[in-house]
Amino acid sequence: MSSAPAPAVSTAGTASRPTATHCPYCALQCAMSLAPAPAGAGGPASGAQPEVAGREFPTNRGGLCRKGWTSAELLAHPDRVTEPLLRSDDGVLRPVPWDVALERAAAEVRTAQERYGKDAVGVFGGGGLTNEKAYLLGKFARLALGTSRIDYNGRFCMSSAAAAGNRAFGIDRGLPFPVTDLGTADTVLLLGSNVAETMPPFVQHLAGARAGGGLIVVDPRRSATAELTADGAGTHLQPAPHTDLILLLGLAHIVINDGLLAHSYVAERTAGLEAVIRSVAPWWPERVQAATGVPAHVLREAAERLASSARTGSCYILTGRGIEQHADGTDTVTAAINLALLLGLPGSERGGYGTLTGQGNGQGGREHGQKSDQLPGYRKITDPAAREHVARVWGVPEAAIPGPGVPAVELLASLGKPATADAPGGVRCLFVHGANVVVSAPDVSAVREGLRALDFLVVCDFFLSETAREADLVLPVLQWAEEEGTMTNLEGRVLRRRRAVEAPAGARSELWIMNRLAALLDAPSAFPEDPREVFEELRAASSGGLADYSGITYERLDAGEALHWPCPAGSGGTPRLFTDGFAHPDGRARLVAVRASAPAPSAGAGAFQLATGRLLEHYQSGAQTRRVEALSAAQPEVRLSVHPAAAAGLGIADGAWVRVRREHAAPQGPRGAGTPGAAQPEPVVLARAELTAGIRPDTVFLPFHFPGLGAANQVTEQRTDPISGMPEFKTTRVLVEPAEAPLDRQEAS
């Protein structure tokens, strides 16, 4: 096996012209240009940074957030991993040649599967991978590794919205309309999304609704997005934590009982109304007020505003992670979709419903095979026709494709587990691509123990993330500006990612890595390393599926065509879904009756509902943004937002250190596959208190971007939505108490 550098791929940029590409962060996928480094300064490896400029594009219209403006700084960061690292017998990660690294990985796969079976090897992917890498990773898992054990971090992001969209509409696309359509809206109901911090350029699309006083934001915090409703621009509804479902049932109750229903639309385009009428009947406004804290008259005003805009203007309902990352997240999103259908919005000229995809390729990343239950083109892995189609494209017998695997939380919980009389053994060898589960997964202490119980852990990354530091083998991969490929943004628009700079000599594309490993493992089928070849195969595999990319080509994208999937061969794509019907066989959307459980009792002294979320300056696990000096300086450590009245009762001053732990922690003792008999410390978070009247007194908020003792997911639980597999990230019951400053403050940042 040669360790020579991988061959270069073609690029649209030159040494003297800017390269048109897209931001590496969120699913808005803002257009940007990377200009060459100054003459004589050298490339990224010598420290010179390309210059970033926003460019005109419908989603961002030339604007970028702080993360986008500073994104190029990471291309020359001194922390960059530039050669494979293998853990030696003394526990230290040391450089090795590529042939040694890959042969060791292949040997560990063979050993694990010979001892424990095919499913002893697992793959954990990421929503930031290009479509080409996500597609080939799913194929690699199922054919080269022969395992069903693959899932990805999008399970922590979009799974509840995807499940709800599929059962209501028969298809899942974040925004089934171009984002620019929002500019015509009189009213926008935004539930559980802080776009002013998570994707700031998006805010410009809310200008019309704000100008007419029609922005309605639902959030238990007075977030930056909720602040956009000030001065008559709209309304902030601030319900108690975990009462979003009740709030939505209450709004639907008003629509039905106050004569606001879109009768013709519902009769002609939906099914299931009678069951929904029964399900919302118990939630009259005064009862909703008692459960949520939102006054009954405010609920009525909001419902009337939505219905009026739906009849005579333009109205949109948008959801985000705040209402989705719950153990009942699928039902909560379903309630939002029901409300939109009752108002006659989806597929109409009067508005629509959509969910705001989070990760950069969160949409495309879930369409082409990374999910445990899906094949390319958004096909169900249990569908015989889907299996036959994909097997034909791959050139293998249908039986060669494993069945469905397990969702992310269950996959991570299985790490290192021995077989028992009642259950098969867990994953013993794991590949991680584009994810940092030691920070992002729920109950990260248990996840860390699981990683350490593995026989072998392979992490592909460009930095030594917290997860990579646990690895037995780290494989250095390309960053966004060093690779070619495609991404799919929150509108279902497929975009070109173009190489603008040369990668460090030792880094490789994941496509190259999978190609070499597949050869070592004697895998059937082909594993191209050129992204254009992979995309051509993806087109064929997706053809005829819900997410049909067969009509999309690099040539069409490079020519500037706006192509939204589904885009069958010969078509111009589908920027607006549902105009002629929904994706169920009868063309009707499904109104699905859902029911709310009783709200949690009020928290006692020192007890709160913990909400987690993002900050303007950071992204996801923070592995990238915490390395950007300007962003890290602005938000250097984890802070717990707490109401001043609640803090006063606990004797906590602004800026003081506090300890956050679960209210009802599990009995301490042996956990996971740690040292037998060893008691494990209770998971806690150490943070500075940040007093703010912008949060409810019964609620505290932690950002989830920080590692170590600052990791919010130390105290979140592995409880999941039974339909989507989404973890309960948003409403863990916690206790807050004063604490001493950590001896090593890096542990809390």
| pLDDT value for 731 | 85
Is the pLDDT score of 4 beyond 60? no
Q: SS3 letters for 607-640?
A: EEEEEEECCCCCCCCCCCHHHCHHHHHHCCCCEE
What is the rounded distance in angstroms from the CA atom of residue 392 to the CA atom of residue 374? 16
| pLDDT value for 358 | 86
| pLDDT value for 606 | 74
- The predicted-structure confidence for 486-496, as pLDDT tens digits, reads as follows 999 999 999 99
How far from 564 is each of 177, 194, 233, 571, 711, CA to CA, in Å? 9, 25, 32, 10, 37
Average pLDDT rounded to a whole number, residues 706-731: 93
- The predicted-structure confidence for 201-254, as pLDDT tens digits, reads as follows 999 999 999 999 999 999 999 999 999 999 999 999 999 988 999 999 999 999
Cβ atoms within 10 Å, residue 36? 19
Q: Is 564 in a helix, a strand, or coil? A: strand
What is the rounded distance in angstroms from the CA atom of residue 202 to the CA atom of residue 369? 29
Is the pLDDT score of 460 beyond 90? yes
How far from 278 is each of 330, 358, 454, CA to CA, in Å? 19, 34, 50
Average pLDDT rounded to a whole number, residues 358-379: 93
Cβ neighbors of 551 (< 8 A, separation 6 or more) are 539, 563, 567, 568, 569, 570, 571, 572, 573
Cβ atoms within 10 Å, residue 290? 11
| pLDDT value for 207 | 97
Lowest mean pLDDT among 351-365, 388-402, 676-690, 705-719: 676-690
| pLDDT value for 741 | 84
| pLDDT value for 295 | 98
Cβ neighbors of 588 (< 8 A, separation 6 or more) are 269, 270, 271, 581, 582
- The answer for 482, left when phi > 0, alpha when psi is -120 to 50, beta otherwise, is alpha
| pLDDT value for 666 | 46
Token reading at 623: 């592995």
Domain range 85-157+361-501+509-558, CATH class? alpha beta
| pLDDT value for 675 | 40
Cβ neighbors of 579 (< 8 A, separation 6 or more) are 347
Cβ neighbors of 88 (< 8 A, separation 6 or more) are 94
pLDDT band at residue 14 under the 50/70/90 scheme: very low
Alpha-helical regions (H) of 73-126: 98-116
pLDDT band at residue 54 under the 50/70/90 scheme: confident
β-pair type (379-380, 374-375): antiparallel
- The predicted-structure confidence for 167-198, as pLDDT tens digits, reads as follows 999 999 999 999 999 999 999 999 999 999 99
pLDDT band at residue 420 under the 50/70/90 scheme: confident
Beta bridge partners of residue 191, listed in sequence order: 218, 319
| pLDDT value for 636 | 95
Please name which of 716, 699, 684 lies closest in space to residue 608, comparing C-alpha atoms. Answer: 699
HSE, side-chain direction, 13 A CA sphere, residue 510: 29
What is the rounded distance in angstroms from the CA atom of residue 633 to the CA atom of residue 99? 40
H/E element, 351: strand 351-355
Using CA atoms of 521, 525, 529, 531 in order, give the dihedral in degrees to the nearest 10: -140
| pLDDT value for 50 | 76
| pLDDT value for 9 | 34
Classify domain 19-76 by CATH architecture. Answer: Single Sheet (2.20)
Domain boundaries, the chain: 19-76, 85-157+361-501+509-558, 159-355, 607-748
Please name which of 327, 305, 324 lies closest in space to residue 315, comparing C-alpha atoms. Answer: 305
Is the pLDDT score of 603 beyond 90? no
| pLDDT value for 216 | 98
Q: Is 318 in a helix, a strand, or coil? A: strand
The winner for highest mean pLDDT among 296-305, 591-600, 655-664, 679-688 is 296-305
For residue 555, with 0-12 CB atoms within 10 Å meaning exposed, 13-18 middle and 19 or more buried, which class applies?
Answer: exposed
| pLDDT value for 37 | 73
pLDDT band at residue 404 under the 50/70/90 scheme: very high
Cis-peptide into 566, omega within 30 deg? yes
pLDDT band at residue 284 under the 50/70/90 scheme: very high
The winner for highest mean pLDDT among 1-5, 58-62, 536-540 is 536-540
| pLDDT value for 597 | 79
Is the pLDDT score of 676 beyond 50? no
Cβ neighbors of 560 (< 8 A, separation 6 or more) are none
pLDDT band at residue 600 under the 50/70/90 scheme: low
Q: Can you list the pairs that 476-479 forms with residues at least 24 positions away whose Cβ atoms lie under 8 Å?
A: 476/80, 476/81, 476/82, 476/83, 476/84, 476/504, 476/506, 476/507, 476/508, 477/507, 477/508, 477/509, 477/510, 477/513, 478/503, 478/507, 478/508, 478/509, 478/510, 479/24, 479/74, 479/75, 479/503
H/E element, 31: strand 31-35
On average, the pLDDT of the chain sits at 92
| pLDDT value for 409 | 96
- Domain 159-355 annotated CATH 3.40.228.10: yes
Unique residue bearing structure tokens 């069945």: 403
pLDDT band at residue 602 under the 50/70/90 scheme: low
The fold of the 607-748 domain, in CATH, is: Barwin-like endoglucanases (2.40.40)
Please name which of 277, 177, 276, 124 lies closest in space to residue 562, comparing C-alpha atoms. Answer: 177
| pLDDT value for 300 | 98
| pLDDT value for 39 | 58
Please name which of 485, 492, 453, 490 lies closest in space to residue 472, comparing C-alpha atoms. Answer: 453
HSE, side-chain direction, 13 A CA sphere, residue 372: 24
| pLDDT value for 678 | 46
